[in-house]
Amino acid sequence: MMLALGGRCGPSLAAKWRAAAPAASSSLGRYRLSVASQSSTSSPSPSPSQGKNKFRETVLLPRTDFPMRPSGRELLEKELQIQRECGFSELYSWQRNRKGKDFCVHDGPPYANGNPHVGHALNKILKDITNRFQVMRGSRVHFVPGWDCHGLPIELRALAEFGEETKTFSPMEIRQKAKEFAKKAIERQRAAFIRWGVMADWDKCYYTYDKQYEAKQLRVFHKMFDKGYIYQDYKPVFWSPSTRTALAEAELEYNQQHISRSVYVKFPLVKPPSTLTLPTGDANALIWTTQPWTIPANQAVCYMPNAQYSLVKCLNTEELYLLGTDCVESIAAILGTQFEVLQTVTGRDLEGAVCCHPTIPGRESQLLPANHVTMVKGTGLVHTAPAHGMEDYGVASHHKLSVDCLVDEDGLFTEAAGFELQNKYVLNEGNETVIQMLHGANMLLKEVEVKHSYPYDWRTKKPVIIRSSKQWFIDTASIKDRAQELLKKVQVIPQSAMNSMLAMLDRRTYWCISRQRCWGVPIPVFYHKETAEPLINKYTREHLIKLVEEHGTDCWWTLPLDQLLTKEVLKKSGGSDVSNYVKGEDVLDIWFDSGISWSHVLEDTNNIADVYMEGKDQLGGWFQSSLLTSIAAQKQLPYRKLVVHGFTLNEAGEKMSKSVGNVVDPDVIINGGQDPNQNPAYGADVLRWWAAESNVFTEVLIGQNVLHAARDDVFKLRNTLRFMLGNLYDFDPETDAIPSEQMLIVDQYMLHLLQDYSTKVTEAYKEYDFGKVIRLLMAFINRELSNFYFSIIKDRLYCEDEKNPKRRSCQTVLDEALDVISRSMAPILPHLAEEVFQHLPNIKEPMSVFRTGWIKASSVWKKPGIVEAIEGASAIRDSFLSSIPGKNSTEYDVTIIIEPSLLLELMEQLQGEQISSSSQLNELMMASHTTLLTSVPRDLPIDTNFIEGKFVINLEGGDIIEESSYKIIVQSATKEKCPRCKKYTSSSALTPCPRCLEAIAGKWST
Ligand SMILES: [Zn+2]
């Protein structure tokens, strides 16, 4: 007999939570209904029958005041309240005062020149997740946040509002304005970092303008100087005419769209190679350059010693050219002509040849061998201007050529370049004039525009040039081998980043550390007025460091020279008259400033951190400068591990920039924008969830869609937690918990899964794979908890007697699961985790989740043996549910037929009797009755439908594999619907079923 669906008045609660194969969201949706109705009325059933309502009053529905879905003001105030009440600001010092092993994350200092942005959020939150995990694991976390405070970018921003007036400022005026600017930026950033929930002692940060820091920096400088790693030299460096200073590689941005005017130029051979036989007329070496303005500084033409070179005749002009054999065809095509090859020789045969300079009469250029020449671009012969190229400089040092520079600090040709060029800017007018001069001398064969990657000043966004000047350098070539050797011992996550680090060390043979600015730490050197000889030794050093410790580096500009270089110091240094000296005017590169942070911040951890954790742009920046200074000064690594994350882009995959107006502001993410529909207030936890998910090496997208998805995940998690809290209101773990071996099998199975989850999630944290933490967490709450466990235990939770061990058994699981889930998410969502802990029932004094340790999953929970029983039953249930799509499973009785086998034995563990409405097997089936048989009953009607299925049992790690088949018969429930539990287990629709009668005995009487 089948009960008509229309027989029920509206969907009852019980029917709703027993719907077949519920999805996670809808099952929580149903739960929402039940809690909402509980708060509005004591009778949740919409049934019109008063008699039935009275039974419903005895159903044990969840109770909790844990809010469901706080938003807007409520959400923000809640987070701030939690930060205050759960001691966010005291957590760092609390954990520092414990006993335990130190764990040190060294904070790479953000630059103190602007507002907090999502790049900061990603970086600081990833560090904080690491730190909070370590605190919960019992480590004493060492984390001192810092700021990078010196340098040109701050100087420029600080002076921007003063316009022309800045030219009248003294160095001290500039320094004061820059410092004020940096301080304000630091305050804004600090406030944001605190709001994001980043754990630290925010009153004890480090600042690169702090006088103790500056003094440490000078000590490292001197240590490296004493070891011979720091030297002064005149050589080509990247030079920014727009900011009149030298720049390091890390201060450049490469513009892939830069257009240069490239030229093909003849260099007439005045002394041809002896191996060439010239038929008639003069021959010309043919060169190509993208920087015509460097031709006046030409000192040589370089060739590849092992390559082939050809003497060709141009069929248009009859002129003879010398060029790389591999380039003959392509160059002829570019010049719009054809070449007849007259003779081919090997590069080294060109030795001893000399050409004359194309524009400077009487100047000669030798043909010289060089390793950097290739045939890939150009003519195979390379114009060499030692003042304007790093490789050119290498050739010049080897062959003792002049490195004289004809370009001044503003990028203008000097007087020495000749009256035609003097005072012309090399990148436009100067370039044009050189091209005109080549043309006038009949040395220009062709001009072609090329689009190529070209270095720009990272701050002014204007092109830089390479220009030789007198600078201070670190001899990175001498540090490189040791650095590479030690770096290989560092664990780099991801491993692929290691190769970039190693390759960058190879490429970098020296590091220019002097800058011609004043907002920074002075290079502590005096120069003799006449000889320009630098004066720097242990006497000048000790005196200056003492002054800096007392006054900060301002003293370099405020104290008179005879106090910086006292008579006593000068005497010990072998000098006599202070008036013979001047102090240096250069400051140190800010990458040196931040690179030595290990010497100041890591003093109490032996100058080494467990982890440096930064964006991938630091592979060539702070990771390198820290490594190089540490290896040079202390012969050891500054870090044991490097964790590298990606950088942030907006949702369209574009770089965010103020000028484009596509910046995603973390303050708007947290607090919402002017239009709450467009920019809702997400709060700090959603921002943190996004950061955790985004812990990847590649680009990280952020925008409304990503944030929306993050918020949905956090809501799902919140509702799962709320379900567990709501069903624990009458549960005291001290007195009510059931030992795991006495639990129902499905409950033991859940503990087994919980143990497995705990192990995996802990491992993922240890591997810094927070995205994996989130995937594991969401899979566990959606699949194992919401979809599976919660849907089957609701009958037990709500309808059994409150003290029934079966109910206590699943409450014990919920209690453990709540604890495990809360702890496992706490490093990512500290606000939500603390909120859960504030709402735990049966706790006298709420404790901070961060002060009570990590997950305490017990290995006793691990019971692989029961997995097959539950999974076997679940497979059978899935067969059953898929045969009644959209129907309520309690409207059916199920008969399961399994011939004697391992599967049958497992099912018999779940149901001892032949037919049951209360067995564990029936609970898993979510039916009203389950019958377990070993053979098909003989008296079945002939039209009976069987559902057939197979299940593979895998025991003892694969040693026992057995495939068993099963048959299911699904029939409409034969009994009447119980008015209390809504299962079809009652003899009359007016009387509760026997189970329910027992549960309400003494509490309610008909
Ligand atoms: Zn009942």
Q: What is the pLDDT of residues 926-953, one digit of tens each?
A: 999 999 999 998 888 888 889 999 999 8
Distance 50 CA to ligand 1 centre (A): 17
| Band of pLDDT at residue 281, cut at 50, 70 and 90 | low
Q: What is the mean pLDDT of residues 642-654?
A: 86
Distance 982 CA to ligand 1 centre (A): 6
pLDDT value at 447 more than 90: yes
Grouping H, G, I as helix, E, B as strand and the rest as coil, residue 676 is coil
Contacts of 739 (CB under 8 A, 6+ apart): none
pLDDT tens-place string over residues 610-642: 999 999 989 989 999 999 999 999 999 999 999
Query: What is the Cα 331 distance to its own chain's centre?
Result: 47
Distance 969 CA to ligand 1 centre (A): 23
Contacts of 922 (CB under 8 A, 6+ apart): 911, 916, 928, 929, 930
- Percent pLDDT > 70 in the chain is 93
**What b-and-e string marks burial along 423-441, b requiring 16 or more CB atoms within 10 Å of the CB?**
ebbbbeebbebbbebbeeb
Distance 1002 CA to ligand 1 centre (A): 16
| Band of pLDDT at residue 660, cut at 50, 70 and 90 | low
pLDDT tens-place string over residues 780-790: 999 999 999 99
Distance 800 CA to ligand 1 centre (A): 9
Distance 986 CA to ligand 1 centre (A): 7
Q: Residue type at 775?
A: R
pLDDT value at 100 more than 50: yes
Cα distance between residue 393 and residue 395, in whole Å: 5
- Percent pLDDT > 90 in the chain is 76
pLDDT value at 280 more than 80: no
- Lowest-pLDDT range of 45-59, 418-432, 665-679, 880-894: 45-59
Distance 809 CA to ligand 1 centre (A): 20
* Enclosing H/E stretch for 88: none
**For the chain, counts of helices (H) and of strands (E):** 34, 33
Side-chain-facing half-sphere of 600: CA atoms under 13 Å: 29
Q: What is the DSSP letter of 703?
A: S
- Lowest-pLDDT range of 286-290, 358-362, 422-426, 873-877: 358-362
Residues in the chain: 1006
Distance 1003 CA to ligand 1 centre (A): 15
pLDDT value at 27 more than 60: no
Mean pLDDT (the chain, rounded): 90
Lookup: tokens for 996:
């329910």
**What b-and-e string marks burial along 300-318, b requiring 16 or more CB atoms within 10 Å of the CB?**
bbbbbbebbbbbbbbeeee
Give the pLDDT confidence score for residue 658 in this predicted structure.
Answer: 63
Cα distance between residue 763 and residue 771, in whole Å: 12
Distance 541 CA to ligand 1 centre (A): 89
Provide the sign of the torsion angle of the four alpha carbons 876, 877, 880, 883, taken in this order: negative
Distance 975 CA to ligand 1 centre (A): 11
pLDDT tens-place string over residues 7-22: 333 333 333 333 333 3
Q: What is the mean pLDDT of residues 124-145?
A: 98
Give the pLDDT confidence score for residue 1002 in this predicted structure.
Answer: 65
Cα distance between residue 972 and residue 917, in whole Å: 14
Distance 916 CA to ligand 1 centre (A): 13
Distance 981 CA to ligand 1 centre (A): 4
Lookup: tokens for 525:
């050197």
Q: What is the mean pLDDT of residues 652-669?
A: 78
pLDDT value at 1005 more than 50: no
Distance 890 CA to ligand 1 centre (A): 11
Distance 762 CA to ligand 1 centre (A): 42
pLDDT value at 25 more than 90: no
pLDDT value at 415 more than 50: yes
Distance 55 CA to ligand 1 centre (A): 9
pLDDT value at 279 more than 80: no
Grouping H, G, I as helix, E, B as strand and the rest as coil, residue 596 is coil
Give the pLDDT confidence score for residue 29 in this predicted structure.
Answer: 30
Give the pLDDT confidence score for residue 10 in this predicted structure.
Answer: 33
Q: What is the mean pLDDT of residues 976-999?
A: 93
| Band of pLDDT at residue 966, cut at 50, 70 and 90 | very high
Give the pLDDT confidence score for residue 41 in this predicted structure.
Answer: 32
